[in-house]
Chain A
Amino acid sequence: MNISFKKTLLYLGLITVNVSLLYSCKPRGAASAVSGDAASKVYVAPGKYDEFYDIVSGGFNGQIGIYGIPSGRLFRIVPVFSQSPESGYGFSEETKPMLNTSHGFVPWDDLHHIALSVTDGVHDGRWAFANGNNTPRLARIDLSTFRTSEILEIPNSAGNHSSPFITQNSEYIVAGTRFSVPLDNDNGDVPINTYKQNFRGTVSFVSINPQSGEMSIAFQIKTPGVNFDLARAGKGKSHGWFFFSCYNSEKANTLLEVNASAKDKDFIMAVNWKKAEEYVKAGKATKESVKYAHNIYNEKTHSATSTLMNEVLVLDPKDCPGMLYFIPCPKSPHGCDTDPTGEYIVGSGKLAAIIPVFSFTKIQEAIASKTFDGEYDGIPVIKYEAALYGEVLKPGLGPLHTEFDDNGNAYTSFFVSSEIVKWNVKDLKVLDRVPTYYSIGHLSIPGGPTRKPWGKYVIAYNKITKDRYLPTGPELTQSAQLYDISGDKMKLLLDFPTTGEPHYGEVIPASILFKKQRKIYKIEENEHPYAAKGEGQARVERKGKDVHVYMTAIRSHFNPDNIEGVKMGDVVYFHVTNLEQDWDVPHGFAVKGSNNAEILVMPGETQTLKWIPDRVGITPIYCTDFCSALHQEMQGYVRVSPASSNVGLSFSTGKTVPADTTKSVSYNQPRK
């Protein structure tokens, strides 16, 4: 690390020199890290659009960041597993159920990986899937709204890291547990050092409804007690198989840094999921009673529902021969990536000095001829050499992940030596290497994990930024870097800051998503039970201690905007319907002193802010999103009276009585 850091500092020096050389129009130095035309390649003129969307995990902020490529500009942050005070996601009554789990309301998670939906192995731009690493969950984001549509909890799991990776027709996404633990129905009150007897792993196959995108756990497979890390589906010729990297084949339960790094080789687990489907159909799966939440957002009612599910189908490899195989892979494999043809599976041992490339054809031959090297917990281990296509020699230090371009090349990230290395998949020769600043984790090429890479760029998602940006106290920005890969040599074009920890992102051409963006929700289709569809329906109703305000918002007033008769001890629900029907005109709504966030209501939508008044007096309400020249006038008042008060419920907007169609509106009595 130290050496590489010095090396990169040296590079930095060279960049500075190089830039000044360019300014003075003299020949460039040999080791330039930024090439002369970098600025023009990433410059997207004001009002112009980027060529790609980069959909990037926000790591421990539990959100997803949407960036433009090549500019690196941040457009939007999509809340997924975390509450968002900006939009009210997880704060509004409608969205709270999205964050429900079998543990109750869990308002945060650690979002690591993105999988974009594919048809025939090619991006189709329908959905993005993401994993919650901490409280095992999967999420589906609708790419026409850039909003979270669904969250599914995964039972029998303890850390959903090896997820959500997708099969070539979006049949399944997977969820492999990062921790092995006693499973949900086992007695978990056991000494931790009984790991080897009591701890098990699972991988779940979650089916995707081809029309609605709805997720459901098709089946889980019980596995030995290893740690699942990453995975990729087979494609093309290997469609029907899934490959999971795993570490800790030592089954250590403490100081894994040392104890899980003892063996020369851990495993890639190959799953024949078509076979698994057959076993499920043949009734080999056991129904287990478990608890997990399934949360779905309905765009008609503008509300989420959370259903507690209680059953899952589990396959035990003991009863399912031919379903699982282990392939030895050097030194704690991390990335496990299949090339666009599906023939090659690249394992990346974090501590290995080579990159093994396995051949799907050879794996099939080895299985047919039973070229095994014994068993691991009853599962056949294929002989390393029998599965191996070849090794990339001396590629760098600490290989992590590999993506592919459209010309038969692979690009592997190296954390320890802090670089991207380009190599040819066929002859395994290293072709080029570029430094990253610093300590790259994942990398992504547009379409890199699919059958049809779009190529052109590779993006490095870095773990350390050190001296790359203006410092901001103890915590420095997170960052990514953009490289041009259209030529023989990779060229660094741009550093751009990101939110959270940018674990992984998928890059998709703008043309696929551009036209399908939803502009508004049609007010006619609003089926929210508390919607006020037109100002004639604006009203306030009391049901015992609950006060329901059916409120409308349009530039630039609320109806009602004067409310009296709320009393201490009441619970007030502001159901705000945005009557606008034009693109990009949300209205915000906030209440002074409310123990809550704002809500941001899209055109045609209804959202609800719950407020429990805590004092007698006049409480202001206002619109938070600058909506028109008279936005600052978009405000109102709620009068809160003591519980014993006899102030009647009343509400209004405007001093005078509007015309004939407003009989449901009543008007303030003069104050006493």
Chain B
Amino acid sequence: MIGIICLAAVGFLACVDKKPSTDEKLDTQELTKNQEEVHGIEIKPGEIQLTHPLNAQWVTEGKGIYELKCQACHKLTNEKLVGPGWSGVTQRRKPEWIMNMITNVDMMLETNADAQKLLEECLVRMPNQNLTKEEARKVLEFQRNNDGDK
């Protein structure tokens, strides 16, 4: 069907005596490129400094974010619910891996082998829960606390 339309269009273009006017056309495609992204800036290795002792305020705030946006799928034990349990996650993964997974999940699922393996196991794409980088950092601090870091 589309093929026919295309052929017809080609036929039209070849046959019409006057070419379609080249009116200045609004390039709506450009607009998609300029979409505001509140997430999606990749966090590079070494960018996140882990410090001791833990930032107690971040732990508390990270717990609040966890309860609001993460708890539906992640337990604090090592038991898998929808996603893997969080116990030991800060030992298994690099800080930037965890934070990219939170703020930049589409990129991770496209490029990171470990993330792709998790998708195969869990079958649910981890939702982008629209956390800022700062909020993701607080969740990481809460995870460190959950793993017994001091």
* CB-contact partner of A23 in B8, B36, B129, B131, under 8 A: B8
Which chain B residues border A51 with CB–CB below 8 Å?
A: 25-26, 28
In the assembled complex, the Cα of A520 lies from the Cα of B16 at a distance in Å of: 47
By a beta-carbon cutoff of 8 Å, the part of chain B in contact with chain A is: 5, 8-9, 11-16, 20-21, 23, 25-26, 28-29, 31-32, 34-36, 63, 67-69, 71-73, 75-77, 79, 81-82, 123-125, 127-131
By a beta-carbon cutoff of 8 Å, the part of chain A in contact with chain B is: 22-23, 25, 35-41, 43, 48-51, 456, 486-487, 509-511, 514-515, 520, 522-524, 533-536, 552, 554-557, 559, 579-582, 585, 628-630, 654, 656, 658-661
Given known contacts A510-B31, A515-B36, A630-B124, is B20 in contact with A40 (CB within 8 Å)?
Answer: yes
Q: Are B69 and A579 in contact (CB under 8 A)?
A: yes
Given known contacts A534-B67, A580-B127, A658-B75, is B28 in contact with A39 (CB within 8 Å)?
Answer: no
Which chain A residues border B25 with CB–CB below 8 Å?
A: 51
Q: Are B69 and A523 in contact (CB under 8 A)?
A: yes
In the assembled complex, the Cα of A510 lies from the Cα of B30 at a distance in Å of: 12
Shortest Cβ distance from residue A660 to the other chain B in the assembled complex, whole angstroms: 7
Q: Which residue of B lies closest to A26 (CB)?
A: B15
Q: Are B13 and A661 in contact (CB under 8 A)?
A: no
Please provide the 9 A-B residue pairs with the shortest distance between their CB atoms, ordered closest to farther.
Answer: A581-B130, A36-B16, A49-B28, A534-B68, A582-B128, A534-B67, A659-B76, A554-B72, A581-B129
Interchain residue pairs with CB less than 8 A apart (10): A22-B8, A37-B12, A39-B8, A50-B28, A51-B28, A510-B31, A520-B130, A581-B127, A581-B128, A659-B77
Most buried by A among B12, B14, B77: B12
Given known contacts A41-B20, A534-B67, A659-B76, is B28 in contact with A511 (CB within 8 Å)?
Answer: yes
Contacts A23-B8, A37-B16 aside, 18 further interface pairs with beta carbons under 8 A come to: A23-B11, A37-B13, A37-B20, A40-B9, A40-B12, A40-B13, A43-B9, A48-B29, A49-B29, A522-B130, A523-B69, A534-B69, A535-B71, A581-B69, A581-B127, A658-B81, A659-B77, A661-B71
In the assembled complex, the Cα of A49 lies from the Cα of B28 at a distance in Å of: 6
Q: Are A509 and B26 in contact (CB under 8 A)?
A: yes
Majority secondary structure of chain B interface residues (helix, strand, loop or mixed): loop
In the assembled complex, the Cα of A524 lies from the Cα of B77 at a distance in Å of: 26
Which chain A residues border B79 with CB–CB below 8 Å?
A: 656
* CB-contact partner of A582 in B12, B20, B130, under 8 A: B130
* CB-contact partner of A536 in B71, B123, B129, under 8 A: B71
Shortest Cβ distance from residue B23 to the other chain A in the assembled complex, whole angstroms: 6
Shortest Cβ distance from residue A484 to the other chain B in the assembled complex, whole angstroms: 9
Majority secondary structure of chain A interface residues (helix, strand, loop or mixed): loop
Which chain B residues border A581 with CB–CB below 8 Å?
A: 69, 127-131
Shortest Cβ distance from residue B75 to the other chain A in the assembled complex, whole angstroms: 5
* CB-contact partner of B28 in A38, A514, A524, A554, under 8 A: A514
In the assembled complex, the Cα of A510 lies from the Cα of B68 at a distance in Å of: 35
Given known contacts A533-B68, A579-B69, is B31 in contact with A514 (CB within 8 Å)?
Answer: yes
Which chain A residues border B69 with CB–CB below 8 Å?
A: 523, 534, 579, 581
Q: Which residue of B lies closest to A604 (CB)?
A: B130
Shortest Cβ distance from residue B103 to the other chain A in the assembled complex, whole angstroms: 11
In the assembled complex, the Cα of A38 lies from the Cα of B20 at a distance in Å of: 9
Which chain B residues border A628 with CB–CB below 8 Å?
A: 123-125
Shortest Cβ distance from residue A325 to the other chain B in the assembled complex, whole angstroms: 42
Shortest Cβ distance from residue A662 to the other chain B in the assembled complex, whole angstroms: 8
Which chain A residues border B34 with CB–CB below 8 Å?
A: 515
Which chain B residues border A552 with CB–CB below 8 Å?
A: 72
Q: Are B29 and A456 in contact (CB under 8 A)?
A: no
Q: Which residue of B lies closest to A35 (CB)?
A: B16
In the assembled complex, the Cα of A514 lies from the Cα of B35 at a distance in Å of: 9
Which chain B residues border A522 with CB–CB below 8 Å?
A: 130
Shortest Cβ distance from residue A318 to the other chain B in the assembled complex, whole angstroms: 52
Q: Are A557 and B72 in contact (CB under 8 A)?
A: yes
Shortest Cβ distance from residue B138 to the other chain A in the assembled complex, whole angstroms: 13
Which chain B residues border A580 with CB–CB below 8 Å?
A: 127, 129
In the assembled complex, the Cα of A378 lies from the Cα of B13 at a distance in Å of: 64
Which chain A residues border B73 with CB–CB below 8 Å?
A: 554
Q: Which residue of B lies closest to A49 (CB)?
A: B28
Q: Are B127 and A555 in contact (CB under 8 A)?
A: yes
Which chain B residues border A511 with CB–CB below 8 Å?
A: 26, 28, 31
In the assembled complex, the Cα of A171 lies from the Cα of B15 at a distance in Å of: 52
* CB-contact partner of B124 in A487, A514, A629, under 8 A: A629
Which chain B residues border A582 with CB–CB below 8 Å?
A: 127-130
